[in-house]
């Protein structure tokens, strides 16, 4: 064998070793089912009307199937597999009719008992671009050539799987290699605030709402406001939610505090309706805690608040994280359906951080999703983080949902989001959370257009 051929063989072996090491770092092989990956295959099946969808990862000698839709498959030989073709092409592979395709594909592929006559496969890559697996849709009949936008959608779903794979790797790295927390010493300071402190704060009206604008990215026009609770403590000053919300959840005070925040937001909407011209009314979004969401009669409570204040249902939005929905999915679906009938906006907050966000996005009647700030913070750090956000935008478009990008802090982030078609955003690049009086002044501006300001350095809401 010539020296050049030996060098090329060594290089290929090194590349394969690096690929297998990246695959091993994810811990994906032989792992139990995970709702996020199952949701991706289901969404691919529904979007492409596919008979079978496989999300698989290539080991040394096998393709291990992490998730399947249609015909159940667990493992396939790697030799001669479609995933091996994807590796060879270093990109997508599309075959509209296996019977007429030249070479090894002249024969029909059999997926258990299902005859396959067409397929399309897109690579799932690691953060450094190595192909670890592929998302493949199969058809039992020949199909027309795949359109450009269809191939882009398939690649977007594969990129979504890659994003979840990277999050999985990061979580695994933190668990196995990260520093172990040191238990805090018990002291009076560690236990503050207690339930009596929170009860007193509620009774003495020490809680206040600040509002952060949601804007149209291209124009800086204010399209909504997120209500964010603060504690104006007489001795400790203005406290952010992180200082007291965990204690409120543990003590059971989160329900009355959350009810106060919802009622206060409705009262403020009523005030703005009186003080500002009708075209200046905007949607105010309030975060619901899990106990609020689980409470019987939530829709009736919201309807009573709207009627009491003479508020249009379109002026109120309710934000929920998926942790509010997971404990009882059938009940959650029923509650969301009743709220949707009222006409209030339903927003999934912190999208992308949970284990089954995609599943809930598909199942529940949300009309807006808010991309978590952790994704926005990374979009300037490479193509894959940007592609993940682009994929979320495409999924939302397919499902008829609006998207708000949270945590925009720099002009570079704003420009990238504008380039990939994200319409709405929120973050310190535009405005900090502020009191109602300051918001009133902004809403009086011509066209509700936020002036250009130097972005703040702080990060937490």
Instruction: Using the 3D structure, point to which of 111, 145, 175 is the last residue of a domain.
Output: 175
**Does 199 lie in the same domain as 164?**
no
**Does 134 lie in the same domain as 45?**
yes
Alpha helices, H only, 252-356: 254-275, 290-294, 298-309, 329-342
Please report whether residue 182 resides in a domain: no
Residue 371 three-state SS: strand
- Residue position matching structure tokens 């995970």: 34
Instruction: Using the 3D structure, point to which of 144, 175, 206 is the last residue of a domain.
Output: 175
Question: What is the mean pLDDT for each group of 10 consecutive residues in the chain (461 residues)?
Answer: 57 83 91 85 88 92 89 82 91 88 52 74 92 94 85 89 83 56 45 92 96 97 97 94 92 92 96 81 90 81 91 94 67 86 92 60 83 90 84 84 96 96 96 96 92 55 48
- Residue position matching structure tokens 């006409």: 343
Please report whether residue 264 resides in a domain: yes
CATH number (domain holding residue 266): 3.20.20.450
**Does 222 lie in the same domain as 149?**
no
Per-residue model confidence (pLDDT) at position 80: 81
Instruction: Using the 3D structure, point to which of 113, 147, 175 is the last residue of a domain.
Output: 175
Please report whether residue 53 resides in a domain: yes
Q: What angle do CA 207, 458, 246 make, to 5 degrees?
A: 40
Range of the domain at 435: 193-448
**Does 45 lie in the same domain as 160?**
yes
**Does 235 lie in the same domain as 168?**
no
Q: What is the dihedral of CA 412, 415, 421, 422, to 10 degrees?
A: 60
Per-residue model confidence (pLDDT) at position 67: 93
**Does 370 lie in the same domain as 426?**
yes
Please report whether residue 186 resides in a domain: no
Distance from C-alpha of 340 to C-alpha of 332, rounded to nearest angstrom: 12
Nearest in space to 317 (alpha carbons), one of 339, 289, 296, 290: 339
**Does 279 lie in the same domain as 171?**
no
Which residues lie below 8 Å from residue 222, measured CB to CB, with a gap of 6+? 213, 214, 215, 282, 442, 443, 448, 449, 450
**Does 128 lie in the same domain as 76?**
yes
Per-residue model confidence (pLDDT) at position 189: 47
Which of left, alpha, beta for 309 (phi over 0: left; psi -120 to 50: alpha)?
alpha
**Does 291 lie in the same domain as 432?**
yes
**Does 152 lie in the same domain as 216?**
no
CATH number (domain holding residue 59): 3.30.450.40
Please report whether residue 2 resides in a domain: no
**Does 97 lie in the same domain as 227?**
no
Please report whether residue 185 resides in a domain: no
Please report whether residue 458 resides in a domain: no
**Does 198 lie in the same domain as 151?**
no
Distance from C-alpha of 333 to C-alpha of 325, rounded to nearest angstrom: 8
Q: How many independent structural domains does the chain possess?
A: 2
Per-residue model confidence (pLDDT) at position 105: 47
Which residues lie below 8 Å from residue 378, measured CB to CB, with a gap of 6+? 385
Please report whether residue 313 resides in a domain: yes
Preceding amide of 386 cis, omega within 30: no
- Residue position matching structure tokens 């991706």: 40
Per-residue model confidence (pLDDT) at position 165: 87
Distance from C-alpha of 244 to C-alpha of 231, rounded to nearest angstrom: 8
């Amino acid at each position: 064998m010539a020296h050049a051929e030996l060098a090329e063989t060594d290089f290929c072996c090194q590349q394969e070793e690096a690929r297998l090491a990246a695959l091993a770092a994810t811990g994906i092989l032989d792992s139990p089912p995970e709702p996020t990956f199952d949701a991706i295959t289901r969404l691919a099946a529904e979007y492409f009307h596919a008979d079978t969808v496989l999300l698989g990862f290539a080991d040394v000698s096998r393709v291990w199937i992490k998730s399947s839709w249609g015909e159940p498959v667990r493992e396939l030989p790697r030799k001669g597999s479609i995933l091996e073709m994807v590796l060879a092409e270093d990109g997508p592979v599309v075959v509209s009719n296996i019977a007429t395709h030249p070479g090894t594909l002249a024969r029909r592929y059999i997926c258990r008992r299902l005859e396959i006559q067409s397929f399309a496969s897109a690579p799932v890559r690691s953060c450094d671009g190595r192909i670890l697996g592929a998302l493949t849709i199969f058809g039992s009949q020949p199909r027309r050539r795949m359109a450009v936008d269809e191939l882009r959608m398939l690649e977007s779903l594969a990129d979504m799987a890659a994003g979840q794979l990277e999050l999985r790797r990061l979580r695994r790295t933190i668990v196995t290699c990260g520093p172990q927390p040191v238990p805090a010493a018990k002291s009076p300071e560690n236990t503050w605030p207690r339930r009596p402190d929170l009860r007193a704060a509620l009774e003495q009206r020490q809680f206040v709402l600040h509002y952060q604008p949601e804007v149209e990215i291209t124009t800086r026009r204010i399209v909504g406001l997120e209500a964010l609770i603060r504690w104006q403590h007489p001795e400790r000053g203005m406290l952010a939610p992180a200082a007291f919300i965990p204690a409120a959840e543990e003590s059971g005070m989160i329900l009355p505090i959350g009810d106060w925040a919802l009622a206060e937001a409705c009262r403020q909407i009523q005030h703005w309706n009186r003080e500002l011209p009708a075209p200046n009314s905007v949607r105010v979004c309030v975060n619901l805690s899990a106990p609020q969401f689980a409470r019987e009669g939530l829709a009736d409570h919201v309807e009573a608040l709207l009627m009491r204040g003479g508020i249009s249902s379109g002026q109120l939005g309710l934000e929920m994280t998926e942790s509010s929905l997971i404990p009882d999915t059938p009940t959650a679906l029923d509650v969301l359906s009743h709220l949707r009938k009222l006409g209030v906006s339903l927003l999934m907050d912190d999208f992308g951080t949970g284990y089954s966000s995609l599943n809930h996005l598909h199942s529940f009647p949300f009309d807006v999703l808010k991309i978590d700030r952790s994704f926005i913070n990374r979009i300037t750090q490479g193509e894959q983080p940007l592609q993940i956000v682009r994929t979320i935008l495409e999924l939302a478009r397919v499902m008829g949902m609006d998207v708000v990008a949270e945590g925009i802090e720099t002009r570079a982030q704003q420009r990238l989001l504008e380039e990939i078609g994200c319409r709405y955003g929120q973050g310190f690049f535009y405005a900090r959370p502020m009191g109602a009086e300051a918001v009133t002044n902004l809403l009086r501006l011509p066209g509700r257009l936020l002036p250009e300001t130097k972005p703040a350095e702080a990060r937490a809401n």
